[in-house]
């Protein structure tokens, strides 16, 4: 469909010419110029009006309303942080009354409830993309089209790392969306949204791209490794818009509306089209998503002032926080506290930069990392592996078994000789510098300030020496923690309470 949006800008560009041509006129000429100016302004408004109508009419037939029948969880705290606003606000009243149970009877299952979300058709044979949180735990899914037809939907697959899901309905020759290029999307561009906020189906709103590459909206509080690369928009998005398209003035989908930060704040976030297409195509083809990974948890050096103060001599890069057990990086020479500055010759300044580059690699593909370590730059080769479905979660709690007696102590750390080397933590004094620095029982300290330690006494000696050199900046410790490699900064001072 041809859109008339360009005519808007043509009309707008002509306005100064119309007004200038009669600027010096008098009498009838002046009145005629005024009428022409008014007509040109009205024409501009009509062109804008018609442009929005056309873009809505192009996209709306491919947008669907998803009706989900769920049984709410007993524990509302299980709802993922950040998604609860969509889920809670789109949850209508129960379909059937809850019967009061006797005090001694087991608690019956919660009543079924109905909620609505949005989605859009990406293939003519009935594949629909939406958010995982729209369809999660649903006992029944129904998809309603713009023309009023309804279909039972089958869940093909989901990806909890991006909050993307794919449904399939038994239909043919359906209208589909046209994809746009989210990589070329610019801040300041006009974008539109269609969805079903508060059960008001096919609501149309308009706004601008407020930002790109937004990260760490959910990742910092999630136990799951998330892939966040959101488009920020001030288009009016409400609960029920989840899963609906974000599209440009040509009607091309550039994202999927996913998150908001409070009602009426103008802070909405969409998953970019590039990620939607990659994940969606994999789910359609295989029912799952495969990704390359190095097996490291990372952070941007520039975002951590205390770490920058400790790693003197470098200002930008990506810090290796943790190396996962048996991951590709675990088998390489990479160490915790290394700062990655390049991948295959391409500079990386943020964790997001590094993540995007690795995700474009193939599983098993070798990569060359340029790494800064204690003032020295080196090359480290790592071959990517396949990201496992579950990455081992480490509980930062003291082990239940009784720990052996300590042979050396410092700053609240109780240590014994490690096997075959290092210093094993057998206790951490509550409220001590070691506790504040998040060192845990059963950690094994392998290095202090980059130097190997062989036993408990050697570890204490190295910490003491390091404190003389580093002072209040603390001492960098490399530790083995339940199979993982990580680092901590042991600070001799405990910050005072505010």
Closest Cα partner for 329 from 381, 392, 387, 370?
Answer: 381
φ and ψ of 134, to 5 deg: -75, -35
User: Which of 163, 321, 338, 455 does the annotation list as catalytic?
Assistant: 163
Q: In the beta sheet, which residues pair with residue 382?
A: 367
Indicate which residue of 115, 133, 210, 417 is catalytic: 133
- Say whether 332 is catalytic: no
Looking up tokens 């620095």 gives 437
Diameter of the chain measured on Cα atoms: 104
d(CA 257, CA 178): 16
Token duo for residue 254: 């550039």
Q: At what angle do helices 5-21 and 28-59 cross, to 10 degrees?
A: 170
CB 117 within 8 A of CB 87: no
242 is catalytic: yes
Cβ neighbors of 259 (< 8 A, separation 6 or more) are 82, 83, 86, 217, 218, 230, 268, 269
Residue 211 CB: number of other CB atoms within 10 A? 14
The verdict on whether 2 is a catalytic residue reads no
Q: Is 246 exposed, middle or buried (0-12, 13-18, 19+ CB in 10 A)?
A: buried
DSSP state of 229: -
Q: Do 246 and 231 touch, CB atoms closer than 8 A?
A: yes
CA distances from 62 to 157, 170, 271 (A): 20, 15, 18
CA distance 178 to 248: 11
Q: Which two tokens stand for residue 485?
A: 């490699």
* Catalytic residue annotation: 133, 163, 242
């Amino acid at each position: 469909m041809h859109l008339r949006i360009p005519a808007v800008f043509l009309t707008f560009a002509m306005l100064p010419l119309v007004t200038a041509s009669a600027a010096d006129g008098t009498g009838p000429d002046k009145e005629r110029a005024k009428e022409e100016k008014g007509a040109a302004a009205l024409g501009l408004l009509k062109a804008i009006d018609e442009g929005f109508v056309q873009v809505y009419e192009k996209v709306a037939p491919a947008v669907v309303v998803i009706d989900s029948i769920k049984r709410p969880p007993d524990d509302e705290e299980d709802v993922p942080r950040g998604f609860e606003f969509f889920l809670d606000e789109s949850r209508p009243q129960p379909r059937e009354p809850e019967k009061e149970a006797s005090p001694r009877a087991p608690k019956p299952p919660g009543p079924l409830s109905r909620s609505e979300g949005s989605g859009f058709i990406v293939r003519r044979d009935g594949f629909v993309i939406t958010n995982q949180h729209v369809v999660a735990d649903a006992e029944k899914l129904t998809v309603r089209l713009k023309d009023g037809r309804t279909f039972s939907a089958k869940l093909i697959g989901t990806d909890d790392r991006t909050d993307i899901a794919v449904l399939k309905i038994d239909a043919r020759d359906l209208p589909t969306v046209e994809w746009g290029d989210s990589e070329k999307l610019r801040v300041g561009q006009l974008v539109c949204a269609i969805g079903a906020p508060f059960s008001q189906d096919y609501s149309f709103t308009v706004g601008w791209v407020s930002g790109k590459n937004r990260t760490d909206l959910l990742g910092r509080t999630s136990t799951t490794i998330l892939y966040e690369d959101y488009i920020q928009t001030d288009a009016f998005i409400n609960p029920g818009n989840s899963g609906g398209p974000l599209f440009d003035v040509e009607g091309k989908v550039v994202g999927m509306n996913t998150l908001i930060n409070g009602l009426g704040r103008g802070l909405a976030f969409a998953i970019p089209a590039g990620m939607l297409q990659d994940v969606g195509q994999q789910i359609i083809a295989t029912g799952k998503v495969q990704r390359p990974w190095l097996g490291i948890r990372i952070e941007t050096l520039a975002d951590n002032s205390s770490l920058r103060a400790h790693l003197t001599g470098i200002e930008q890069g990506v810090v290796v926080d943790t190396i996962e057990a048996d991951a590709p990086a675990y088998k390489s020479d990479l160490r915790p506290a290394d700062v990655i500055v390049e991948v295959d010759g391409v500079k990386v300044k943020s964790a997001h930069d590094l993540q995007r580059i690795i995700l474009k690699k193939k599983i098993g593909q070798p990569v060359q990392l340029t790494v800064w370590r204690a003032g020295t730059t080196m090359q480290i080769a790592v071959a990517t592996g396949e990201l496992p479905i579950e990455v081992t979660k480490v509980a930062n709690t003291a082990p239940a078994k009784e720990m052996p007696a300590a042979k050396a102590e410092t700053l609240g750390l109780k240590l014994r000789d490690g096997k075959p080397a290092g210093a094993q933590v057998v206790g951490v004094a509550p409220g001590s510098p070691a506790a504040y620095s998040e060192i845990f029982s059963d950690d094994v300290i392998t290095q202090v300030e980059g130097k190997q330690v062989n036993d408990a006494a050697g570890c204490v000696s190295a910490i003491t020496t390091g404190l003389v050199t580093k002072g209040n900046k603390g001492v960098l410790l490399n530790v083995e923690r339940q199979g993982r490699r990580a680092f901590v900064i042991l600070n001799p001072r405990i910050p005072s309470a505010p």
